[in-house]
Structure 1
Amino acid sequence: MSTLTFQGAVGEVTGSRYLIEMEGTDRSYRVLLECGLHQGGKSADEANAKPFGSLARQLDAVVLSHGHLDHAGLLPKLVREGYSGPIHCTRGTRDLLEIMLEDAAFIMAKDVEWENKWRKRNDKPLLEPLYELADVERTLQQCKSHGYGQPIPLPGGATLIFRDAGHILGSAIVELAVPSGGQTKRIVFSGDLGNPSSVLMKEPEKLFEADVVLMESTYGDRDHRPLEETLEEFAQVLEEAHASGGNVLIPAFAVGRTQEILYHLSVLYHAGRLRQQMVFLDSPMAIKVTELYHRARKSLDAEDLKVLNIAASGDTGRYLPILRMTRTVEESMAINRIHGGAIIIAGAGMCTGGRIVHHFRYNLEKPNTRLVIVGFQAAGTLGRQLVDGAEKVRVLGQELAVKAKVHTIGGFSAHAGQSQLIGWAGAFRDKPRFYLVHGEPETQQVLKHALEESGIEAQVPGYGDRIQL
């Protein structure tokens, strides 16, 4: 009998990992679904540092739903510890991994270097990064990319098919047909389901057949505001910021969200509603991803492409004349001489590092600054502290008083809301077993109850829980 073990993204939104074990005629086979980084605080760092142990050498295949780090960010660590088999993903995911994993390794190296300077001075044991660029290179070499709808044979007699999840470029719903006890059992993992209101992406595919469904529940306790209302709120915040004379800070989720925000800024600009005279995209990774979206535009929603095509080709004169791409550290530092009238989109999205925290040092203590949060902030992150109303935060070793006005605009989310999750779940026939993953505990309980009201029973697994397929 084949089994599935929940090894991550249970009771939390990050750290996605599920182990599928199948009994073959000659031996057992192991497939790892996702290999995500935990994000948010010291406990996340400890979870990331935990060795894979013998699992790294026992695995026969790895399957990824998409390229976000909470789903794929520990892959190079797995490879570093001995995994040498195939990593199956879509073409878009493979291209994103090259950008995102290299960036993660670079930031990790800088963070460890900084920490070790302090440790040397205090006679503490030195740290090693989770992985290095050489591990990323090996990981990319092991990636096998596939198109949507293409059956892919896996070791142990399993079959994999990717379906479009509509979340970010290359994002997939994972469909696995697994032999178990003389039968074939179908596992469907939602990955991150997209928000149909988002621009650029297609709508998530609905599936109808499954025995076991693992469904994300990030926004399982609420629906997003309609896009029209969201855009109006966004426009008003920008207008307020212009009137107050302050800068607007937008923590950048480099993949998907940044491209969407640029799209909407362009629409506001061409409608004569953008009063700011400078927009900075201050994230080398977000710039690279925007260029990748342009190259992969055939995968995107045809109706939304006109604005993005101009952006990615670099023709800012037509797209957004006030947009400036700041790739170098010197260009980024120069922004801090601007005391008002600028929109600064900078990484990282949950404010856990990157250039946004440097802009916090110069802007967070100013009452005329507007901080616009446009994505989910995981528990334990600096972004979550700010959303929850912290009056003081620690940034780069310095305590800052939060005098900026913080706006959370949830309608830009690239995740499905509660009604969309229930609608997607309701398409399955014959009542498969549902397990809610990728959600905070309170949110999952709200979604579980809402699903029950729609006639769908769902369970909330715990870390290490193992089910028979």
Structure 2
Amino acid sequence: MTYPHIQHHGATQGVTGSCHQLWLDESTSLLIDCGLFQGGESSQQGASADQLDIEFSLSSVQALIATHVHIDHVGRLPWLIAAGFKGPVYCTEPSALLLPTVLEDAFMVGIQRDRQLAGNFIDLVKPMLHGHPYKEWITVIQRPDLVCRLRFQRAGHILGSAWVEFDVRYPQTEPVQRKRIIFSGDLGAPHAPLLPPPAIAWHADTVVLESTYGDRNHEDRRTRRKRFQAVLEQALADGGSVIIHAFSIGRTQELLYELEGIFHDGSNPLSQQQIPVILDAPLASRFTALYRQLKPYWDDEALQRVSEGRKPLAFDNLLTVTEHQQHLAMVNRLASTAQPAIVITGNGMCSAGRILNYLKAMLEDARHNVVFVGYQAGGTPGRRIQQQGQGGSVTIDGQRLRIKAGVHTLGGYSAHADQKGLTNFITRMRHWPSEVRLVHGDPGAKQALQARIQQAASNKNKSMAVIIP
């Protein structure tokens, strides 16, 4: 076998379960991400949402490198440690701050609802975390026959997200063999709220590239904000609630930022009525507080708002619901009255969490509206609601519900790069890679992106293998 060699343990059969093993020689490897599977997705070796035990040997694994803290990229860390992993976990400085909260929640939801045990687990993990600044080279392996360095570059997906660049050298080969390998993690859209855009790589030999939206392009930010505002105005005119289910970290904070901008505008009905925005997601509330602590990593536009005295993530009509009894009371109140409200709750794919109570209470009432702002994995209730739409049906917790509420999809609010952004990540390099491996996408998305990148390479007379593992 030729080294370096890449083995995929997830995100080849869909978009979740990210886990990739970079083999540096026959006995030395690094793990890039180790995430949960969602919906019906699985690994080629048989891991799934219902089977999370680590299904591959860890004897060669020297370290885990986390691209960012979404659970489909780091959520299997408890199982990794249970399987015997004791190495360092390298990530960016913001990710090192956010990761304990993510892992505590993953432990409570996926293993045991025991806060003391979860706390003990976090105490075990914290010494393993090594947070580093962006752009800083880190030597992770240094031997006479092998040197491996890595550095994190901004990915623009969520706070702390990175694509990871590996520089691998074999000093004892003649001539000295050297390879540059990039793992994209999840790349963000170029004009996402709060965050600077993804950095562009200089060169690479191999790129492992996500392809979640490889078959489509997003609306520009101005257009999507107008659509978002129009959907909210129409939905609230119906006399009910707008239910937006979002991932606790990243998407929720972007939505709050956009809502603050809409309310601050002053020229629309939403700003004039000061509609309550209810953040009914304890984990999202904790992350929003952490985002506020990490202002130095915000983009210039967000920092400008702060300098003007605005509070992009803590505006006056933002209400936070934390306790479970408060949540149940809020669901009952909004379901039984005509008070307009905007509710942001979890989880992102309608597969668990407080969103289920809102859906069971409101899907069969035409006054309410459900707004999708992100990808829905196959096999999840979110995907079925999105596909069926008004007039369809969905089963939640064994209860079959007729969908009478309005259903809207705003794809432009995805935190993922679109086809253009993904293609640009490759074509804007000074020295293009000879191999691109497409992961994190449905088959159609990967095939469309494969064709697009191959065409771009052909147009420039570049030799490039675009592989779907």
Q: Is the 8 A contact 1:80 1:135 kept in 2?
A: no
Q: Is 1:422 matched up with 2:388?
A: no
Partner of 1:437: 439
3-state DSSP of counterpart to 1:150: coil
Partner of 1:262: 256
Partner of 1:162: 152
1:245/1:178 Cα in 2 relative to 1: closer, same or farther (>3 Å)? Answer: same
Q: CA deviation at 1:28?
A: 2.3
Q: Is the 8 A contact 1:259 1:308 kept in 2?
A: no
| 1:61-210 superposed matches below 5 A | 61-109=63-111, 134-155=120-141, 156-179=146-169, 182-210=176-204
Q: Is 1:19 matched up with 2:21?
A: yes
Partner of 2:298: 300
Coordinate RMSD, CA, aligned: 2.3
Note the residue ranges of structure 2 that are not aligned, 5 or more in a row: 459-463
Distance in 2 between the 1:431 and 1:70 partners? 26
Distance in 2 between the 1:308 and 1:439 partners? 36
Partner of 2:317: 322
1:5-61 alpha-carbon deviations (Å, 9 max, x no partner) = 1221113111111111223xxx72121111111111385895252532562344111
Partner of 1:230: 224
Partner of 1:281: 279
Q: CA deviation at 1:144?
A: 0.9
Partner of 2:38: 39
3-state DSSP of counterpart to 2:287: helix
Q: Is the 8 A contact 1:196 1:204 kept in 2?
A: yes
Q: Is the 8 A contact 1:374 1:409 kept in 2?
A: yes
Q: Is the 8 A contact 1:375 1:413 kept in 2?
A: yes
1:402-428 alpha-carbon deviations (Å, 9 max, x no partner) = 111110001111111111111121023
Q: Is the 8 A contact 1:66 1:170 kept in 2?
A: yes
Q: CA deviation at 1:109?
A: 4.4
1:308/1:378 Cα in 2 relative to 1: closer, same or farther (>3 Å)? Answer: farther
1:86-112 alpha-carbon deviations (Å, 9 max, x no partner) = 01111111122111111122122468x
Partner of 2:238: 244
Q: Is 1:393 matched up with 2:394?
A: yes
Amino acid paired to 2:103: L
Q: Is the 8 A contact 1:90 1:162 kept in 2?
A: yes
Distance in 2 between the 1:418 and 1:344 partners? 30
Q: Is the 8 A contact 1:22 1:179 kept in 2?
A: no
Q: CA deviation at 1:179?
A: 3.0
3-state DSSP of counterpart to 1:157: strand
Q: CA deviation at 1:306?
A: 5.2
The match for 1:459 among 454, 459, 466 is 466
Partner of 1:373: 372
Amino acid paired to 2:322: R
3-state DSSP of counterpart to 2:254: helix
**TM-score, normalised with respect to structure 1:** 0.87
3-state DSSP of counterpart to 2:69: coil
> With CA pairs under 8 Å and 6+ residues apart, which has the higher RCO, 1 or 2?
1
Partner of 1:122: none
**TM-score, normalised with respect to structure 2:** 0.87
Identity within the alignment, %: 36
3-state DSSP of counterpart to 2:457: coil
1:458/1:135 Cα in 2 relative to 1: closer, same or farther (>3 Å)? Answer: farther
Q: Is the 8 A contact 1:56 1:79 kept in 2?
A: no
Distance in 1 between the 2:111 and 2:18 partners? 23
Partner of 2:356: 357
Q: Is the 8 A contact 2:453 2:466 kept in 1?
A: no
Distance in 1 between the 2:455 and 2:312 partners? 48
3-state DSSP of counterpart to 2:48: helix
Amino acid paired to 2:325: E
Q: Is the 8 A contact 1:105 1:136 kept in 2?
A: no
1:123-148 alpha-carbon deviations (Å, 9 max, x no partner) = xxxxxxxx955444423331111111
Q: CA deviation at 1:445?
A: 0.6
Q: Is the 8 A contact 1:294 1:313 kept in 2?
A: no
Q: Is the 8 A contact 1:165 1:171 kept in 2?
A: yes
1:110/1:395 Cα in 2 relative to 1: closer, same or farther (>3 Å)? Answer: farther
Q: CA deviation at 1:378?
A: 1.1
1:243-262 alpha-carbon deviations (Å, 9 max, x no partner) = 11111000021111111111
- Name the stretch that deviates more: 47-56 or 382-391: 47-56
Partner of 2:461: none
Distance in 1 between the 2:225 and 2:303 partners? 18
Q: Is the 8 A contact 1:276 1:343 kept in 2?
A: no
Distance in 1 between the 2:448 and 2:467 partners? 11
1:312/1:152 Cα in 2 relative to 1: closer, same or farther (>3 Å)? Answer: farther
Note the residue ranges of structure 1 that are not aligned, 5 or more in a row: 114-130, 463-469
1:241/1:276 Cα in 2 relative to 1: closer, same or farther (>3 Å)? Answer: farther
Distance in 1 between the 2:41 and 2:156 partners? 32
3-state DSSP of counterpart to 2:319: strand
Q: Is the 8 A contact 2:446 2:468 kept in 1?
A: no
3-state DSSP of counterpart to 1:253: coil
1:308/1:461 Cα in 2 relative to 1: closer, same or farther (>3 Å)? Answer: farther
Distance in 2 between the 1:256 and 1:308 partners? 19
Q: Is the 8 A contact 2:302 2:312 kept in 1?
A: no
Q: CA deviation at 1:375?
A: 0.8
1:359-393 alpha-carbon deviations (Å, 9 max, x no partner) = 11111110111100011111111111111116222
Distance in 1 between the 2:41 and 2:188 partners? 29
Distance in 1 between the 2:138 and 2:187 partners? 22
